[in-house]
Copies of this chain bind each other. A is one copy, B any other.
């Protein structure tokens, strides 16, 4: 693409490095910013730089945080006996939005993936084991909430091996089954099979 201005060419080039944004979308965004008030661009640029340079990670759960300890770990009203293990900060946000979980989290920072060169030592697994095994640890249950992909299942399997010898700590995984609003006939066999094996007694 030929641009009439070096400034816009640079901005489009930088925007197009973001995932899922191609040159045409980047140009549309850049022209939108040009048409809008200068404040919009100023506050966008400032928010991005501030986020990148000032954000820290919680020393306990490795989630993103504004302070040394994140707002969830620091909250004494949450149940510190339950630790939900997730791959990513995005999963923390998704689970928080359900409003169904009152425990704390542990963010691995990814999943084990030999193809992408991610091994167990690249993830926050040791710190999870230490956290659960530490003397006086409050942890009573570790909930594995990892996406059921090939890499996710490998990670969950590895974690359950590492954690199984801990005394007084139960390991659980999130329920698999037919999603709400899902149609039985379109569900894959494995999910449907699991939903029958793991059936729940009706509470009347």
Contact = CB atoms under 8 A, between A and B. Distances in A.
Interface residues on A, range: 35 or more
A24 to B, nearest CB: 9
Main secondary structure of the interface of A (DSSP, over half): helix
28 contacts: A1-B97, A2-B97, A3-B93, A4-B65, A4-B70, A4-B71, A4-B89, A5-B65, A5-B66, A6-B66, A7-B51, A7-B66, A8-B51, A8-B55, A10-B50, A11-B47, A14-B44, A14-B48, A15-B48, A18-B29, A18-B33, A20-B25, A31-B90, A33-B51, A34-B64, A41-B49, A41-B53, A45-B46
Contact of A18 (B32, B45, B46, B93): B32
A168 B2 CA distance: 32
Contacts of A32: 18-19
A78 to B, nearest CB: 12
A17 interface: yes
Given A44-B48, A46-B45, A64 B25 contact: no
